[in-house]
Structure 1
Amino acid sequence: MQFLLPAIKKLNKKYSISLDIVGEGPLLNDLIYLCEELNIVTEVKFLGAKSPTWLAKNTSDYSALVAPFCVSSNGDRDTGPVVLKEAMASGIPVITTELMGAKEIVNDSVGFKCEPSSIGGLERILTEFCDLSPYERYAKGLNAKKLVTKKFDANSQAKKLSNWIQTV
């Protein structure tokens, strides 16, 4: 989020972007402070932890999932492919970075990717998303739902894992 928030600040000169952040963690106060420093407190809402039921019910109400995965200075990294698949299954496009499994899950028909830890990269792909027509956004969400249903259902994933284990 420390790369996404400055990108939103820059883009709000041209677009009206709002961001809901779901979850809690040790960086929450730092992110709230960063929003205050960037003067984007009205554009960013911190919703706190939400139940899986809430997520399933509300995800489709959003324009996109923005998941700016990165590697922290201590080497910790986000574990995000599941959240991408869940958003895609809800029929919304995804905006993310080329980290971990995201580069294998997200293609141009379902969303956008940029390099990790890049304010400029996030600014570029958010601009591309904002410039889409409502129909193009809808089509990306529909493509996302089709892709995740076809390639990432539990049965096909279990079969791939079983085949991989058998070859090892």
Structure 2
Amino acid sequence: MRILMISDVYFPRINGVSTSIQTFKRELEIAGHEVYLIAPSYPEPMVDDDTILRIESRGVTLDPEDRMMKYRKLINQLPQLREKGFDLVHINTPFVAHYAGLTLARKLDIPCITTYHTLFEEYLYHYIPWIPKSVLRWAARSFSVSQCQALDGIITPSSIIASLLQQYGISNPIVTIPTGIDVSDFESGNGDKFRDSLGIEPHKKLLLNVSRVAYEKNIGRLLEVVQDLLKKSRDIHLVIAGEGPAKQSYIQQARDMGIADHVSFIGYLDRSTDLIDCYHSADLFVFSSKTETQGLVLLEAMAAGTPVVAIAEMGTKEVLQDGLGVKITDGTVSDFSAKIVEVLDQPDLHNTLSESAKLYAKDWDSSRLSARMAEYYVNITTQYPRELGSHA
């Protein structure tokens, strides 16, 4: 098959959407499919192969990490896209990519689907706090319904998100296909080297969080947990790997709490080198987000053999199974701290969780899940002329 993916984000912008696109693109290509991607240009120079088309873009006021593709520049690619003979358009984000992707698909007379990566009803109020949360939730749901109802199929990374979309009133067909990982990418790393680079002493217990540093990720709860553990004379250090609009706020919060010397915000890491070393440097991976549609970093940490202590809500409920590489917390400071202490103070438990984490991560094999995606593509394209009709 020949697939056209379109996204408002891709590397060098690091997040779960970029990782998901890269993973599926790579695995589908290995299986013999042709996958092209339209994504924004970024100020940072990128070396792409000829299957990635960068569209001129401009900055986004509220989020300097992101870019907005110029719609007309994208639509003007139609003649060369028509020559490729694509079978399907797969949208991955709901902004310019959605509207341009839908327009291109209808002009090419091929099906158009999306992956619903982001739970917007839990995001907007962090950025527009002066509007009542109930109003923003209604707006986010209405926005999602209007977009999803215009498509020929919807993919969600977890069945919980699929059920939520159905509750919104979306009647178009929804399938659940999580993003997988290649565990071999995370099996070997130099944790000692990474600790040395940060100046963290070997005897300190290193807690790691890999995340976009945004308010909806609930990182403030991790700072509260660190403060609680330090009050109990625990020799710990929290490393937060990522960037985002809340970074400076959380840095200031750590200072105000008197824990700044025990918390490091280290920015984004190279996924093929430093990030892997970072996972291997940690004694525990800690995760406090309640808004994930899946939570790929949890599986990456497990593949590296790093035990997890995490909240299991929304999409992470389907990733996390208590005892299989993870201790699930109810999210309160007291329980979060207690679960961390339980694992750190029992070497046998830590080792058991580490080994079970590596085994469990293998269940999320990227090649197997990409085969499910390919099968879904075939089903959509087969049904399109017969059941969905022409969209000339």
Which has the larger Rg? 2
Of 103-112 and 25-34, deviating more is 103-112
Aligned-partner Cα distance in 2 for 1:3–1:157: 33
Moved more, 33-42 or 79-88: 79-88
For 1:39, the equivalent position in structure 2 comes to 258
Question: Amino acid of the residue matched to residue 106 of structure 1?
Answer: L
Shift of 1:102: 2.0
Partner residue in 2 for 1:104 = 318
Shift of 1:23: 0.6
Q: Which has the higher contact order (CA 8 A, sep 6+)?
A: 1
SS in 1 for 2:254: helix
Match of residue 74 from structure 1: none
What are the superposed Cα offsets for residues 86-119 of structure 1, whole Å, 9 maximum, x if unpaired? 1111111111111233222222131111235x33
Superimposed CA distance per residue, residues 45-100 of structure 1 (whole angstroms, 9 cap, x where no aligned partner): 11111110211233112112111112xxxxxx345521011111111111111123
Letter in 1 for 2:237: S
Answering whether residue 158 of structure 2 is matched by residue 158 of structure 1, we say no
Q: Structure 2: how far apart are the matches of 1:9 and 1:105?
A: 28
Shift of 1:121: 3.5
RMSD (Å) for aligned C-alpha atoms? 2.4
Q: Within 2, Cα distance between the matches of 1:153 and 1:43?
A: 35
**Counterparts of 2:371 and 2:226 in 1: how far apart (Å)?**
41
**How has the CA–CA distance of structure 1 residues 159 and 46 changed in structure 2, closer, same or farther, with 3 Å as cutoff?**
same
- 2:231 aligned to 6, 13, 16, which one? 13
| Matching of residue 50 in structure 1 with residue 264 in structure 2 | no
Q: Is the 2:292–2:315 contact (alpha carbons within 8 Å) kept by the matching residues of 1? A: no
Task: Name the counterpart of 1:60.
Answer: 280
Per-residue deviation at 1:44?
0.4
Letter in 1 for 2:358: K
Higher relative strand content: 2
Q: Which moved more, 1:32-41 or 1:52-61?
A: 52-61
Preserved contact between residue 115 and residue 121 of structure 1 (Cα < 8 Å): yes
Give the deviation of 1:164 after TM superposition: 7.5
Aligned residue for 1:2, secondary structure, equals helix
Return 5+ residue gaps in structure 2 as ranges: 1-218, 380-392
* Number of residue pairs the alignment of both structures matches: 159
Contact 1:35 1:44 (C-alpha < 8 Å) held by counterparts: yes
Tell me how far apart the structure 2 counterparts of residues 109 and 124 of structure 1 sit (CA, whole Å).
18
Name 1:73's counterpart in structure 2.
none
Report the 3-state secondary structure (helix = DSSP H, G, I; strand = E; otherwise coil) of the residue aligned with 2:236: coil
Do the aligned partners of 2:240 and 2:265 also contact (CA within 8 Å) in 1?
yes
The equivalences for 1:59-138 within 5 A come to 59-70=279-290, 77-79=291-293, 81-107=295-321, 108-116=323-331, 118-133=332-347, 135-138=348-351
Provide, for residues 105-142 of structure 1, a one-character-per-residue CA deviation record: whole Å limited to 9, x for no partner.
222131111235x3333223223223322x32122111
* Separation in 1, partners of 2:335, 2:371: 35
Q: Is the Cα–Cα contact under 8 Å of residues 69 and 80 in structure 1 kept in the other structure?
A: no
- What percentage of residue pairs aligned between the two structures are identical? 25
CA distance in 2, matches of 1:125, 1:163: 41
- Which residue does 1:144 correspond to in 2? 357
Q: What SS does the aligned partner of 1:66 have?
A: strand
Q: Distance in 2 between matches of 1:65 and 1:5?
A: 14
Cα distance between partner residues in 2 of 1:31 and 1:80: 24
Q: Which letter maps to 2:311?
A: T
Tell me: CA distance 1:12–1:93, structure 2 relative to 1, closer, same or farther (3 Å): same
Unmatched tracts of structure 1, length 5 or more: 71-76
Q: Secondary structure at the match of 2:286?
A: strand
Pick closer, same or farther for the CA change 1:162–1:97 going to 2, 3 Å.
farther
2:324/2:360 contact within 8 Å kept:
no
